[in-house]
Chains A and B, each alone.
Chain A
Amino acid sequence: MSNPDPDAERKARNGRSIAIALGLAAFVIIVFVVTIIRLGGNVASRPF
């Protein structure tokens, strides 16, 4: 078994972490925007 370069390993791990963070952030934003669109103007006219 080979020993990967620690620097390359750290760089690759950082890249993967950033990709996951961006993916999750995009998912949260999409769900928020979709919710607003699906609710439409009904939020403003809901009874209190």
Chain B
Amino acid sequence: MAREQMTDATFNAAAAPARWQDYLQLMKPRVMSLVVFTALTGLVCADRAMNPILAAVAILCIAVGAGASGALNMWYDADIDAKMRRTRARPVPAGKVKGAEAATLGVTLSLFSVMLMGMALNWLAAGLLAFTIVFYAVVYTMWLKRWTAQNIVIGGLAGALPPVIGWAAATGTAPLDAWLLCAIIFLWTPPHFWALSLYTSEDYAKAGVPMMPVVAGAASTRKQILAYSAVFVASCFAPVVTGLGGLAYTAVTALGGLVFMILAWRVFRSRAGEAPKDRVEGLYDVKAGSKDARNLFAFSILYLAALFAALLAQHALGLP
């Protein structure tokens, strides 16, 4: 109820009418692009000859499904988003789009994407896509996010599933190698998000979101980042063992993993998240003490992208 009141209040204050770009913004295009990339990697790694149009439709369904869950997230989280600097300009808290419209868009696109995936490809891929949407929009957004500091650990499954959906779309199966890709993204999520939350924890605290630094403190978060980083980097070698990853992937994993661990160690030794409340100018400007956390956050994106790009190139070009 409080959410609806807030949304209506902000909507009434709106001056500019909603443009189609605002509805596109509801679908979190940047997240969609990452989902497309990892799903495409899963689809290509399946090494199955496939009609290119059907492959494109599979990727489109996954992208639209991801966008749908983003719209549902923006509908439900409008009250939280309005309190945080990073998210307060989103269409619903900014008053450009009504919450009910965001919810309608989310539900409609979810149904379209899942049904099209089922009819065009197969129902395993469609079922996994439906599960991912429900997991992100209901389990993570409506339940975990406001309830536990483990929110992004468990919720990370939604972001980790697209390679499995891509693999299932290509073959109708979800073998061990597909789940290894899922495990890599799943274990990557905690160090990635906790590094970010170390220097945005004031925002999360203000919004009442129990992120790890808010609940357990910065020191505990830095320790957990180091532990998860070690498990994550180790998991990146699993595709080498099963033969999914070739020479390029092994090289990227080893070199990038070394850098990742050095950066995680620096975060562990730093005072990230504990810096005095000095003035911060821009949205992504960081307090001096949190520079190490910012470096790990930035490198984590680069490392994951490099891992999947290596796999994609290897399987698409037939490299060793």
Q: Interface on A for B, CB 8 Å cutoff?
A: 1-2, 4, 8-9, 12-13, 15-16, 18-19, 27, 30-31, 33-34, 37-38
Instruction: Answer yes or no: B279 CB below 8 A from chain A CBs.
Output: no
Instruction: Answer yes or no: B318 CB below 8 A from chain A CBs.
Output: no
List, in ascending order, chain B residues with CB within 8 A of A8's CB. 16-17
The chain B residue sitting closest to A2, CB to CB, is B15
Q: Interface on B for A, CB 8 Å cutoff?
A: 12-20, 23, 51, 53-54, 57, 60, 112, 116, 119-120
The chain A residue sitting closest to B119, CB to CB, is A34
* Pairwise interchain contact B53-A34, C-beta atoms closer than 8 A: yes
* CA gap between A29 and B53 in the complex, in Å: 12
List, in ascending order, chain B residues with CB within 8 A of A19's CB. 20, 23
The chain A residue sitting closest to B56, CB to CB, is A30
Q: Which among A13, A34, A37 has the greatest number of chain B C-beta atoms within 10 A?
A: A34
The 9 A-B residue pairs with the shortest CB-CB distance in the complex, in nearest-first order: A19-B20, A12-B17, A34-B120, A9-B17, A2-B15, A15-B20, A12-B19, A16-B20, A1-B12
A37 with B13, Cβ < 8 A, contacts A16-B20, A27-B112, A31-B116 known: no
Q: List 29 A-B contacts (CB under 8 A).
A: A1-B12, A2-B13, A4-B14, A4-B15, A9-B17, A12-B16, A12-B17, A12-B18, A13-B17, A15-B20, A16-B18, A16-B19, A16-B20, A18-B20, A19-B23, A27-B112, A30-B57, A30-B60, A30-B116, A30-B120, A31-B116, A33-B53, A34-B53, A34-B54, A34-B57, A34-B116, A37-B51, A37-B53, A37-B54
List, in ascending order, chain B residues with CB within 8 A of A34's CB. 53-54, 57, 116, 119-120
Interface SS of chain A: helix
Q: Which among B19, B54, B60 has the greatest number of chain A C-beta atoms within 10 A?
A: B19
* CA gap between A34 and B234 in the complex, in Å: 41
For the complex formed, measure the closest distance between the CB of A35 and the CB atoms of chain B, giving whole angstroms. 9
List, in ascending order, chain B residues with CB within 8 A of A15's CB. 19-20
List, in ascending order, chain B residues with CB within 8 A of A31's CB. 116, 119
